[in-house]
Every structure is written in structure tokens, then in C-alpha cells.
Structure 1
């Protein structure tokens, strides 16, 4: 079948070569004379006219549907009419007999037209204006969601990105939350990596880490700590309009988060626990350097070459380091826990009822009593989450050994791999020989050894002791020191803690209890010392 373009070409050729009339050309090609005249007038066929079709069902209802769609122009985005809601309104309010598919097709085609008509009436054209950014001036900041496999569980984390607008140089760091501490830590890491601070505006969403209240237009009430941070680093903030209206105002970093996630977070990274994010961030720093060789926006020069032009134009870093950690002074409850940002953390039980000082940064909580560090925890990001350390409860458990079996801290210690199967084997052996309470107290004495000896050395000491048929904590300590000496490592790092309230018994008593392995050595003798006597006749008569 000949296309219209080919048909017009044939008609024009026959008219040019053979000089046929319009009637003859129409008869030869089997078309109307009007088509021949169109072909002789232009080589390009005119567009076909769409036939006007009647809509006996949709026609009377178009005004009602248009009215609903026009009302959506001023309605909140999440409370606008869907095609299904419009169909329900037509059926209920207008007693219409119309298929949902018919309404859906009309709404899909008509809604963009109504939006365009409203913009035309307002004199607003839809489009984008190319921007030129000066070197070393502007930057954009945003968080993007990423998934990291933490201990076999896919966990949502947050990718902080600061992107220079001129060169496209971007710094990325991943955190377990997008709280204010992570927001500050990302800035510090970015400024340190860049070697300076953007001298112009840095564009932001209305993040709660920076903005306490959104006012009219671009006016914002900022948080106090964000104001202090900006003052310390000389940051000038620019806030985008809320919602979709402001998304294009920092389109560079919006697209960068997704691109970087697809490039460097596929496949999903795997770490043993949340502290492994530090290792991921080291890899991200290397990835940022590798990105310097990339070309963007069809530029001839690379990101690294363009950033070299920006480096000398950045503002200098502050001389004094800004403390980004949140400092609080919580009180220790009767469970030896403190509450920071709606999460619970354990501290040594001796501090129950006292006030401590807690410093929370992006990934870690450090607790001080006076000037002494007493606890260190990974940051918890879930409301009501707990991170309890078994060592903090040992003194309490020495007096209440029955509480160990169901202790939450013991559950956490098993999950972290600190309380091992070797500990369980020793616990089972002590309970079998001495009963639940006395056996648990012996286990607690062994757990106290971890405070001054390396974990691996204590585990090795427990294994040797069990192989010898003993359950004595003293034997565990001796064997742990032997293992440390064989490894060439110091066995003791801290002073020996005070022994718990266990009964003190003599060595012969313990031997009678068969807790120590049998001693096959001969009994001690003083015969070798007789030669020291000045008068041999007084042998054996020394008073």
C-alpha cells in the first residue's frame, strides 16, 4: 500500500513529466481531484482531520467533571479528586449511568488541560530557566534514603549529600538517622573534605534539624543549635519553597542522591552491626574521589578539574572546632538506665539515682560521670529502643543471681556475640556442681574478668578450665594470663575489681570440693635447709 507521502510524490512526478491534467491524474491514481490539487500545491500531505464523534453519555457530564477538576486547583494535594471519586460523585449526585473506565480516560486527558488553562489565565508559563553558578559560591544539601543490611536485616539509613553547584563535586556520608547530629556531622565531613565552606548560599529543604517553623514565603524560624553552627562555620542558608513547588530549586542534589545510590549502593551493603557504617563511610570517601573523573552535563572538563577552580574561592574553615554532639544531663533510673532522645541506654549500676552527662553524636552516645567516661553505646534510632550492656549489671546480679537468666542485658550480650557458647558451657557446669545460685555467682566472677582482660583470653581460659574438669574462676584467670603471655599481649589493663560478695574459702577447702585439678606433686620438705644450721647437733631442734 502506497503511503500518502509516496502518493503525493507520484502525482507531482506524473504532472511534471507527462503534463497530465488534474482529472487525468485523479483517474490514474484513483483519488479525488481535491487530493491532486493538494499534492500539486505542496509535497507535504496535509494532516488528517479527526472526525467529530458524538458522546451521548459523556457530553452532558463534562461540565460536572470539569467543575470538580477546577476545584482541585486550590485544594491540598492529598485531598484532590481521584477518577474513582469523580465517578462516585456522578453516580450518586447526578444519577449518571457511566462506566468508570470512561471517566478515568476523560480525567486523565482533561486534568492537564485545566491546569494549563489556569496557568495561561494567570500569565504563567510552565518551563525551566538555565542557571549559571559562580565557582566556590553555591551548594545544595539533601538527605536520601538508602538500605543497608545490618546483621542480616535490611535497615533504612540516610545518605547525606552536599553538592557544589558549579563543579558538581559532591560529598556523601551515610547515617542511621537524619537527626540534627547527623545533619551537623555531614556538614563537618563535607567542609573538611572540600577544604572550605561555600562562600555563597547553601540550599536546603525545610528539615526539622534546621527549621523550627515555616513562616510566610521563605521566612523561617531556625533552631538555636543550627544558628550556632551556621555562625561557627559562616554558612548562609537558602530555604526552598515547601512541597513540589520548591523541588526544582535544588534539582542538582535531588538527582544526585538517586544516581549515587544506584551507582554505589547496589548491591545492598552488608555490615555486622550499626557501627559498621563507619567502614561504609570510608568507602564513600573513596567513591567521592573516584567521581572526580566523571563528566556531567556534557561538559568537556571533569568534576575534579572544575572543582580545582573552586578550591581557592571557598571560605576558610573555622579555627575552633564546633562540638556537634548534643549534651544532656539525664538521671539514672533504678534499672541503671538513662533516657536520651526517647531511647534507653545502660550505665554502671553504681550510678543508680545519680545524674550523669551524656554526649550524643550522629552514631554514638558517650556517658560521663564527672570527667570519667563510664559507658559508650551505638546510637539507637527507634523510639523506646534499648541498648543494655551486661557488664553494667554484674554487681547487682552478684546479689541477685536468679535475675541473670531473664536479664534483657543478657539477651543483648548474646545478640552481640559477647556472651558466647563457651560462657553457657561454663554456666551449665557451675550450676551442675554448685546449684543455680552459687553456680551463677561463679559465672559472674568470670564475667568480671572481662573488665581487665581481653575477651579472647578469657574465653581461652574458660575452655582450658573446663577441659581440666574445674569450674574455678581463679583457674580461669590463671589460664587467661597464660594465653595472653603466649600471645605476647598484656593480660591486665585495669586494676582488679573488688571481688563480689561471694564466700571467701581457703585453698584446701576448694581442693576438698574438687574444684581444682588433682595435684600430683610431692609434699614440700625443709630437709635442704638443714645445712644452714651452725651446730649440726641441734638438727631438728630449732625453736
Structure 2
């Protein structure tokens, strides 16, 4: 038709029709009515009665106006309650009609404004729950999060496995690791206000945490910013990246064929390798942004909290609702404890004594226990019956085999004998440094329906005394020395 109208400017109807490729009759018809065939079709009439005709204006629209957030399925349930004759088959019709009505008469919706991110301007931090991945450490499910840092311009990211919640310590450690890996600091740092870390804190504690966060950013010359609470899309450049990194980890775990790792370090290495490969894909943009970053300070700042504790007569101290045992020689002393996300560093004055794994309170605020049987076994040998009703008895056993052995001994030999034998087994594991081997031997005995025999195990794991070789020394005759002396005199 367009060709016909173009040729019609200079040619007659029949000639223009021939050039356009249709008959003169069609040309004359188009002369009188230029509408297309699709424009001449009459609208299709309804083929069956409207099932919502009687309720749409009188009931559905008033409900939508009164409750703008009402879901279509809620409207349908209410209509079917009022009108039982309505079938479930009207659901799609109702959903489509409500959607069309809201497009014309509905309330205004929030608009998301896409932003440009110049290089070196902003870094984003957030925490991502990783329990969905069902990762385990030595067969024990690992409940953890990942601290996630990202630069929106280049896509550079860093991930740090966090065992606790969204704490300042976890933020400080993860952020500093990311900045030193990157080799510079952006102008601004944005977080989500650490909502989980601020929960249940009083006003003074919140103010202290705010000051520490601002001091951390000031150490690196960054301006601290926060998105509005509950408005996740303001942090969208990292919120969406959470899903990507979780999906990538899920794929890697499926390819690996197992979600169990020997220790926490192996899982952290697995995450670091994945993040490193993702950063390598953006190497060009990362290098471009790195040139715009601020220089790092000469050293890192504190990424821990400090607490002073007193060691009680139980050879332990309690910190953040967790009971920690220490060597008994420290009873009565005050210790300085540095709290990291996954460990505690214990100091006597300025002397670093040892590290302890960090524990967490149990569900419902129940106190947790981090117990090392080596700290108390010397006293427990003198008072073995203390094991029977010990508050942290289950945490005292270093492996499941020991707990299983104690239950079997209690059932078969009675309380006194069971406690004496069990303490002897723990002492043997400590003195002979054979905790793992002894656990295997205990498992073998229990699997064979036999109780572990302390005397037999002591003999089995006793140090092997080597026999001294019989050395025979042959003494030379004295005349040999005289002959040597005469030879030396002749030579002189």
C-alpha cells in the first residue's frame, strides 16, 4: 500500500497498482477507503458472560480503594466467601483486571533512580547469610555469614567468612582485609547501618559503636555513609551481588561433589579462590579504578575489641555469656582479652599467652562453653567424681568417642568406676598426646560391644623403651703406643 501511494503521486491508479504488485480493483478500493484490513476488523465481542460483572463495580473496586496493598488472591477469597457460586476459575481474569485497573487508577509507586558510580568514589559493605549452602566442617554444619565488600565501578569484591553476627569486629576485619588486598581506599564507604550489630544495644553502646566506625573510616580517609534503614535498594550495588556470589559458590560446591571441609581454613581458601577468579575477569576495570583510590595508611588499625577478665577458681573466665577454661596457674589473675570474630587472644600484661576459639551463646541466651580438658585434667584426676555432674561435662570431651565411652561406662560399671575410668582415659590422651589414636581405639572397643579397659590402653599407648645395644670395646696392647712413640722420635 505504501508503494502504491508513492507511485500514485505520478502515475494513474492502474499503473501504480501494477508497480505495487496488486490488481487495479484493489487500487480503486484503496482510493475510496485507505484503511488497512486490520483496521477494518470490528472488535471481538465477548463470547460468554462476564463472571465479575455483578461484583466488579460494587465490591471489588471499593476493596481496592480501601486497601491498596490487597493481593488479588485475597480479593478472590473474600468474593468467594460472599458469593459461593463464584468458581476458582475466575482467578486469572480477576488478577488481569486488577492489574489493569491499578495501572490506571492505582497509587503512585516508588521510583528507583539509577546512579552512575565514578571510579574510586564509593565502596560498599554488607553481610550475607550463607546457611543456605549447607556447608559443614568435619561433618558439623557451619552456621556463618560472609562479609562482602564491593566497588560498584569496577566490580572488585572481597569476601570474608564470619562465624558470628554482623558485629563491628567482623566489619573492621573484613573491610581492612579488602582494602589491603585492593591496595587503596575509596573516598566513601557505605554500609547498611549494621542493623544486627546495633540491635538490643543501649544508647551509650550505640554511640560508642558509632564512634568506632567513624574512627575506622577516618583512619583510611573515607567518609562514612549509611543507607536508610530498611531500604535495601539504596545498597543495591552489593545487595544484588550477594545473589551472584551465592549462586557461584553453589555451582562450585556442586562441581566439587561435597560440601564438607576438613577445617575452617579450607572453606575460607575455597571462597578466596572463587572471589579471586571473579576479580580476574574485571582486572582491567580494577586497575583503572585502583589509580583513583587513596593511598593506604602505614598500618592497619584495630580490628578487635578489648576486655579485661578475672580468672576464677574454676580455672576459667566468662565473657559475653561464654565460659572459657584456661590453665589453672592463671587462677586469680586479671587477663587482657582481644576479641576477634573467630578467636580470642589472651594476654598477661603485654605478654601474649595463647589463643582460644571464640564461642557463642546458645539459643535463648543460654551460656556457651569453650572447654579444653588439658586445662583441668590434673585437678580432675584428684577428684574424678566431679566429672559426674560437671556443668560443662559434654564440652569437656574432645571427641564423640569419649562421650560415647562415658555413657557406656555409666550404664555398665556405675558412677564411681565410670568417672575414674573416664578421667584416666582423658589423662592418658593428654600425657601421651594420643587423643585421636585413643579415640579410634575406644570406638573399636565399643563397636565390638566391649568396654574400654584402662589398663590395656595404658599399656598399648605406653612409651616404647628401646634397649641399649651391647657395645664391646677392644683395648689395644700398650706396646702399640710405645711403637708409635718411637716412630715419632725417628721422624723428628
- TM-score by length of structure 1 reads 0.62
- Of 329, 336, 348, the residue aligned with 2:308 is 329
In structure 2, what is the equivalent of residue 502 of structure 1?
none
Cα deviation for residue 305 of structure 1 reads 0.7
Q: Where does structure 1 lack aligned partners over 5 or more consecutive residues?
A: 1-11, 26-33, 74-79, 214-219, 295-302, 483-518, 520-543
The answer to whether residue 247 in structure 2 is matched with residue 262 in structure 1 is yes
Q: Is the 8 A contact 2:384 2:423 kept in 1?
A: yes
CA distance 1:442–1:62, change in 2 (3 Å): same
CA distance 1:89–1:42, change in 2 (3 Å): closer
Task: State the Cα deviation string for residues 49-72 of structure 1 (Å, max 9, x = none).
Answer: 353575364543444333333344
Q: Is the 8 A contact 1:334 1:353 kept in 2?
A: yes
In structure 2, what is the equivalent of residue 195 of structure 1?
183
The answer to whether residue 299 in structure 2 is matched with residue 312 in structure 1 is no
Cα deviation for residue 362 of structure 1 reads 1.6
Cα deviation for residue 191 of structure 1 reads 0.6
CA distance 1:42–1:328, change in 2 (3 Å): same
Cα deviation for residue 439 of structure 1 reads 5.0
The answer to whether residue 380 in structure 2 is matched with residue 400 in structure 1 is no
CA distance 1:380–1:403, change in 2 (3 Å): same
The 2-side partners of 1:212 and 1:236 are apart by: 24
CA distance 1:43–1:54, change in 2 (3 Å): closer
The 2-side partners of 1:170 and 1:89 are apart by: 49
- Of 59, 62, 67, the residue aligned with 1:64 is 59
Q: Where does structure 2 lack aligned partners over 5 or more consecutive residues?
A: 1-16, 201-206, 443-451, 468-492
- Of 227, 237, 247, the residue aligned with 2:214 is 227
Q: Secondary structure at the match of 2:164?
A: coil
Task: State the Cα deviation string for residues 163-212 of structure 1 (Å, max 9, x = none).
Answer: 1111111112222233212222211111111011112x333324226767
Task: State the Cα deviation string for residues 357-392 of structure 1 (Å, max 9, x = none).
Answer: 332212123344544535512443744343322223
The 2-side partners of 1:459 and 1:242 are apart by: 51
Mapping for residues 166-315 of structure 1, pairs under 5 Å:
166-180=153-167, 181-199=169-187, 201-208=188-195, 223-243=210-230, 246-266=231-251, 267=253, 270-272=259-261, 276-294=263-281, 303-315=282-294
CA distance 1:117–1:443, change in 2 (3 Å): same
The 2-side partners of 1:291 and 1:317 are apart by: 24
Q: Is the 8 A contact 1:390 1:409 kept in 2?
A: no
In structure 1, what is the equivalent of residue 482 of structure 2?
none
- Of 316, 326, 332, the residue aligned with 1:347 is 326
The answer to whether residue 2 in structure 2 is matched with residue 20 in structure 1 is no
Greater relative contact order (Cα < 8 A, sep 6+): 2
Cα deviation for residue 419 of structure 1 reads 5.5
Q: C-alpha root-mean-square deviation of aligned residues, in Å?
A: 4.8
The 2-side partners of 1:440 and 1:118 are apart by: 76
Cα deviation for residue 401 of structure 1 reads 0.7
Q: What count of residue pairs does the alignment treat as equivalent?
A: 419
- Of 442, 446, 455, the residue aligned with 2:428 is 446
CA distance 1:167–1:446, change in 2 (3 Å): same
Q: Secondary structure at the match of 1:306?
A: helix
Q: Is the 8 A contact 2:164 2:360 kept in 1?
A: no
The 2-side partners of 1:341 and 1:210 are apart by: 14
Q: Is the 8 A contact 1:338 1:346 kept in 2?
A: yes
Q: Secondary structure at the match of 2:214?
A: helix
Mapping for residues 87-106 of structure 1, pairs under 5 Å:
87=76, 89-90=78-79, 95-97=82-84, 99=86, 101=88, 104-105=91-92
The 2-side partners of 1:42 and 1:96 are apart by: 45
Q: Is the 8 A contact 1:442 1:472 kept in 2?
A: no
Mapping for residues 382-401 of structure 1, pairs under 5 Å:
382-383=362-363, 384=366, 385-401=368-384
Q: Is the 8 A contact 2:128 2:145 kept in 1?
A: yes
CA distance 1:363–1:13, change in 2 (3 Å): farther
CA distance 1:130–1:68, change in 2 (3 Å): same
Q: Secondary structure at the match of 1:105?
A: helix
